[in-house]
Structure 1
Amino acid sequence: MAKRSFPLARVYTLLEPGPVVLVTTAGRDGPDVMAMSWHTMLEFEPPLVGCVISNRDYSYGRIKRSRECVLNIPTVELAAQVVGCGNTTGAEVDKFARFGLTAKPAKKVAAPLIAECYASLECRVADTRAVNRYGFFVLEVVQAWVDPAVKAPQTIHHRGKGRFMVAGDEIRLPSKMK
């Protein structure tokens, strides 16, 4: 098989890091939600998540000020709402109302959980050293929630330019990890 050159501006479409999440924040003007695709696990105990949020995003300033947020993990049934949240700004729109999402109180942070998402991770900002340069926040998960009724969640994964894939087949291989 012969490979050919690939545009550097599209490399991100090859390295999809995980499911799209809905990031919720709290502020003086109420709760907000944004769609985010660029995150990665950094550590397991305590759980640390690295995520990229552009300084052009409304949520960037809210997270920088409050130093907390919730990462809500939707399933494919919420795909239209996820895209809607990604294509609008909370500076102009109440996304909870527009996209029919339900804010529920979190236990350890002011930002809300999204009831319709199968899992929610309450987070506090643990490290900001790369925020100004790269928009890279390190978050510590301080409380995790999951809906036990959802046995095989079909999460959505952003491939770029309006393309998504849905988590599908699962395989099991020998592993020493818990």
Structure 2
Amino acid sequence: MKEVPASGAFRQLEPGPIVLVTTSYRGKPNIMTMGFHMMIQHAPPLIGCVIGPWDHSYSALRATGECVIAIPTIDLAETVVDIGNCSGDTVDKFERFGLTQQPAGSVAAPLIKECLANIECRVVDVVEHHSLFILEAERLWIDNDHREWRTLHHRGDGVFAADGNVLDLCDRMVKWRHFPR
């Protein structure tokens, strides 16, 4: 083993796929790319995510208390990176990147049609000191006809990994059978 700087720990524990977060504030929808998020609990489903005042979406999320977490697949990899390289205060990202807004069921923020899944969320708590939003997932939309299912995982410095083969061990998860698949 070789010791490396602890600042790289996120590269080993990367919490999940890169996601797109949509908000809508004063009738203006926006999209941001986000990598720092984690599941906090199963029921109710709580998601933690870091969105700081340096992000244009921060103000919209603080004002409205709602968003959509959209899960893109690797066919959108370049678009996901490009969305993160510009700001919604000067760019209509839906228009620039050719993404399709779809109405959500219970929040004003739009779903993204081109994504594999969309999760409608409401803010239930904020840890200001860390810009950590605790979101409750209210509705989940999955495109079962989506051609691509592999998601994108950021490893740092613009390097990404894609999901590979799926290993199904659900028959061994006897303690957790009560959770829906």
Corresponding residue number in structure 2 for 1:42: 40
Gaps of 5+ in 1: none
> What does residue range 91-170 of structure 1 map to in structure 2 within 5 Å?
91-128=89-126, 130=127, 132-150=128-146, 153-170=149-166
Give me the TM-score of the superposition, normalised by structure 1: 0.93
Contact 2:73 2:148 in 1 (8 A): no
Q: Report percent identity of matched pairs.
A: 45
Aligned letter for 2:165? D
| Cα distance in 2 between the residues matched to 1:135 and 1:53 | 6
CA positional deviation for 1:47: 0.9
Give me the TM-score of the superposition, normalised by structure 2: 0.91
Corresponding residue number in structure 1 for 2:18: 20
Number of corresponding residues: 174
Corresponding residue number in structure 2 for 1:77: 75
Aligned letter for 1:123? C
| Cα distance in 2 between the residues matched to 1:58 and 1:29 | 15
Question: What is the aligned-residue RMSD (CA, Å)?
Answer: 1.4
CA positional deviation for 1:10: 2.3
Corresponding residue number in structure 1 for 2:86: 88
| Cα distance in 1 between the residues matched to 2:156 and 2:67 | 24
Aligned letter for 1:80? E
| Cα distance in 1 between the residues matched to 2:108 and 2:16 | 25
Contact 2:74 2:148 in 1 (8 A): no
| Cα distance in 2 between the residues matched to 1:27 and 1:137 | 17
| Cα distance in 2 between the residues matched to 1:92 and 1:12 | 30
| Cα distance in 1 between the residues matched to 2:145 and 2:155 | 28
Aligned letter for 1:89? S
Gaps of 5+ in 2: none
CA positional deviation for 1:92: 1.3
Aligned letter for 2:120? E
